[in-house]
Copies of this chain bind each other. A is one copy, B any other.
Amino acid sequence: MNTLAYAATSATEKLGLSKINRREVAAGDVLIEIDYCGVCHSDIHMARNEWGNTIYPLVPGHEIIGRVKKVGPEVSAFKPGDLVGVGCMVDSCQSCSSCNEGLEQYCENGMTLTYGSPDPASGGFTYGGYSSHIVVSEKFVLHISEKLDTQAVAPLLCAGITTYSPLRQWQVKKGDKVGVIGLGGLGHMGVKFAHAMGAHVVMITTSPEKGEDAKKLGADEVLISKDSEAMNSHANSFDFLLNTIPVGHDMNPYVALLKRDATMTIVGAIEPLDPVSGGGLIMGRKRIAGSLIGGIKETQEMLDFCAEHNIVSDIEMINIQEINEAYERIISSDVKYRFVIDMKSLKA
């Protein structure tokens, strides 16, 4: 069986709950009936074992929206019927300095990922959101406002927090000139957030067509990265750059856009980046940083910010039966901007 087909058929309803040993609802746990699950590019990497660490059976999915069905006796923050979300992680040590600071994604003892991760609670592995149900410790469950379009909220749990967190960490504020590099699942959320924070948002893309799309999402300006004259005219002018390019690339043209003391944060490319000129960093005391999703507290803050500013993801709804085609379309950047699976389709 090819891995893509596997990803589809491995959903819990196909395999049966018993086979994948989903854990029982413990005292601090919440049982969630899943309504929608976003499709992240990392689902593809994992389903295809492209990072070399996949353990099968695998149930992908870490942009999960659903309703609480049942809670354990020690759960205080949730009750049956609540609209909730689960993102990329479902546990962490809760005792290291990162966890103490609310930065569970950097847990020094290793966070437990929502799928494909050894699960200390069950002794088995975690299984993600391409599923009818999931059991998660209440510490990793998020409150979702009923005000928003529920199905379009799902991608906020990964694409949303991944872009919101660095904008907050680097204190993007009203009037700042912020560049969002790349327009995909991450980039389109970056544009929406930076716009809502009051920044002057510049979409930096190779494609004029994507530039026009970005304007509809809130970009004030478009900078075509292949146009060296245009790039020069923006040199040393950006307060912050959010780099969502998902693969290694030449960062020097973007470093040149930064103001003195400004930062470009990488959120997409985990692979080796092309050689950066030391001089480009030195001459303006510039910075390149990384950022990984966000902590639970900040994820809740982001969801509340979205409710306040009426921000959701732009999505295309699919049934689980269409997942393999969706994966191919993601790979060819043919989606505006995130697929979300309607989990009712599992019962079809």
A interface vs B, CB < 8 Å? 98, 103, 106, 108, 169, 236, 248, 260, 263, 266-292
Contact = CB atoms under 8 A, between A and B. Distances in A.
Contacts of A282: 266-267, 270, 290-292
Contacts of A278: 248, 266, 268-273, 290
Tell me the number of copies of this protein. 2
B290 A283 contact: yes
Contacts of A103: 260
A285 B280 CA distance: 21
A270 B279 contact: yes
B285 A169 contact: yes
A271 to B, nearest CB: 6
A271 B278 CA distance: 5
A94 to B, nearest CB: 16
A260 B291 contact: no
Nearest to A292: B282
B274 A285 contact: no
A284 to B, nearest CB: 6
A273 B275 contact: yes
Contacts of A106: 260, 283-285
A288 B287 contact: yes
Contacts of A98: 260
A-B interface, 10 closest residue pairs, ranked by CB to CB distance from nearest:
A281-B290, A282-B290, A270-B279, A272-B275, A269-B278, A287-B289, A106-B260, A270-B278, A266-B278, A282-B292
B290 A266 contact: no
Contacts of A285: 106, 169, 289-292
A275 B271 CA distance: 9
A287 B287 contact: yes
Nearest to A97: B260
A286 B289 contact: yes
A263 to B, nearest CB: 8
Contacts of A289: 281, 285-288
Contacts of A288: 276, 281, 287-289
A272 B277 contact: yes
Given A274-B275, A287-B289, 20 more contacts: A103-B260, A106-B283, A106-B285, A169-B285, A266-B281, A267-B282, A270-B278, A272-B275, A272-B276, A273-B275, A273-B276, A273-B277, A275-B275, A276-B288, A278-B290, A282-B290, A285-B289, A285-B292, A286-B289, A288-B289
A283 B289 CA distance: 10
